[in-house]
Amino acid sequence: MEHKKYTVGITIGDYNGVGPEVIIKTLEDERLFKYCTVVIYGHKSVISHYTKLYKIQNFNVQEVEDTEKLNPKLPNIINCWSEHVEIQTGTMTPEGGARALICLNQGIKDLTEGKIDLLVTGPLNKSSVSQHHPDFKGQTEYISAAAGNENSMMLLVDNGLRVGLVTNHVSLKEVTGTIDINLIVSKLEVLNKSLQQDFLIHKPRIAVLGLNPHAGDNNLLGKEEKDIIAPAVNRAKEKGIMALGPFAADGFFGAHNYKHFDAVLAMYHDQGLVPFKTLSFGSGTNFTAGLNVVRTSPDHGTGFDIAGKDVASPDSLRSAIFTGLDIVRNRETYKDMTANPVERVKLDKE
């Protein structure tokens, strides 16, 4: 059976980290090109540096100026800068952050203009990028703003496990002041819609976690569950969303209750990512739900501590590519399924 081929863009991330390594290891497998055409946003000199470092032979890339003339059988690369750069593997540098941002901007531009079907973003360092863009909080927020929809969601995906976040890169002391009923309801709407169109789940079941230990323990440890989260769950139900909770996060994951739901909504970053990465580290995908474009990334960071040691696994990047391709395909299917809905007609009883 022939598969429709999509165009996948991959940003190189911080070239001092493991991004180039996992890209090379992933694209060494030529079977990938049966499913997609690939263009890397980076620079050929970086790829050459790491293929030499790891003594990888016969890894060919085709340099292209844009996405108009891509080779479907080889990795293509767009050189996003022209000047010479010094690669300092395993070290955070301002130059690495600057080039990572340049590549990200080019990838976003091609994605939003419809020149690629999927953007997979390599890991970068927020601190080094923020030296050039002070408001930079993370790729999820940056891409959402560029795509014109800041009410998106960081959704971690690994097979049947899906964990979404109400707040992303927000300090813990700010979380309580950030969440409110409207925000939680809006995130539940984003998550519910994503489960339907991106994963083709007709009537999703969503578990909502509490904020405080033991979900407030009947208001003894906090009232956010009673005053904010439970009312948000009820309001979501009124909108036709099958949301349940709030659940105490530790017992919920400890008892494997996540297996009974299509997705879990966590209140803050570590509440969701700690259990997710414990269960799925190395094979999960970070997906930005709620956008009209498709962006994924591996579930790991720059890995400066292991960069250059030839030990980084490509599994998460590979998962990010195939998860993203599934989502692109599912969106097309969903669009076809809902294009001309059949109207219900009431028959008069005689």
Please indicate, yes or no, whether residues 298 and 284 belong to a single structural domain of this protein. Answer: no
Q: Which of the 8 DSSP states describes residue 243?
A: E
Please indicate, yes or no, whether residues 160 and 35 belong to a single structural domain of this protein. Answer: no
Please indicate, yes or no, whether residues 233 and 262 belong to a single structural domain of this protein. Answer: yes
Please indicate, yes or no, whether residues 264 and 298 belong to a single structural domain of this protein. Answer: no
Please indicate, yes or no, whether residues 1 and 144 belong to a single structural domain of this protein. Answer: yes
Identity (one letter) of the amino acid at 79? Answer: N
Report the CATH number at residue 264. Answer: 3.40.718.10
Please indicate, yes or no, whether residues 81 and 111 belong to a single structural domain of this protein. Answer: yes
Domain boundary residue, one of 289, 308, 327: 289
Each residue's pLDDT expressed in tens, for the chain with a length of 350 residues = 456 899 999 999 999 999 999 999 999 999 999 999 999 999 999 999 999 999 998 899 999 999 999 999 999 999 999 999 999 999 999 999 999 999 999 999 999 999 999 999 999 999 999 999 999 999 999 999 999 887 899 999 998 899 999 999 899 999 999 999 999 999 999 999 999 999 999 999 999 999 999 988 888 888 999 999 999 999 999 999 999 999 999 999 999 999 999 999 999 999 999 999 999 877 899 999 999 999 999 999 999 999 999 999 999 999 999 999 999 999 999 999 998 766 666 656 55
Domain boundary residue, one of 289, 305, 336: 289
Q: Tell me how far apart the alpha carbons of residues 29 and 20 are, in angstroms, rounded to a whole number.
A: 15
Give how many domains the chain has, as a whole number.
2
Q: Order of strands across the sheet with 263-266?
A: 62-64, 76-79, 36-42, 6-11, 118-121, 295-298, 285-289, 153-158, 161-165, 263-266, 205-209, 242-247
Closest CA to 157 of 284, 283, 290, 316: 284
Domain boundary residue, one of 289, 308, 325: 289
Please indicate, yes or no, whether residues 278 and 305 belong to a single structural domain of this protein. Answer: no
Please indicate, yes or no, whether residues 39 and 125 belong to a single structural domain of this protein. Answer: yes
Instruction: Say whether 254 sits in a helix, a strand or coil.
Output: helix
Please indicate, yes or no, whether residues 106 and 43 belong to a single structural domain of this protein. Answer: yes
Please indicate, yes or no, whether residues 306 and 166 belong to a single structural domain of this protein. Answer: no
Please indicate, yes or no, whether residues 72 and 201 belong to a single structural domain of this protein. Answer: no
**CB contact at 8 A, 180 and 208:** no
State the maximum Cα–Cα separation within the chain, in Å, rounded to a whole number. Answer: 84
Please indicate, yes or no, whether residues 178 and 237 belong to a single structural domain of this protein. Answer: yes
Q: Which of the 8 DSSP states describes residue 257?
A: G
Q: Tell me how far apart the alpha carbons of residues 286 and 301 are, in angstroms, rounded to a whole number.
A: 11
**CB contact at 8 A, 191 and 155:** yes
Closest CA to 287 of 205, 202, 201, 198: 198
Could you list the residue range(s) of the whole structural domain that residue 245 is in? 153-289
**CB contact at 8 A, 292 and 194:** no
Rg over alpha carbons for the chain, rounded to the nearest Å, is 21
Predicted TM-score (pTM) of the model is 0.93
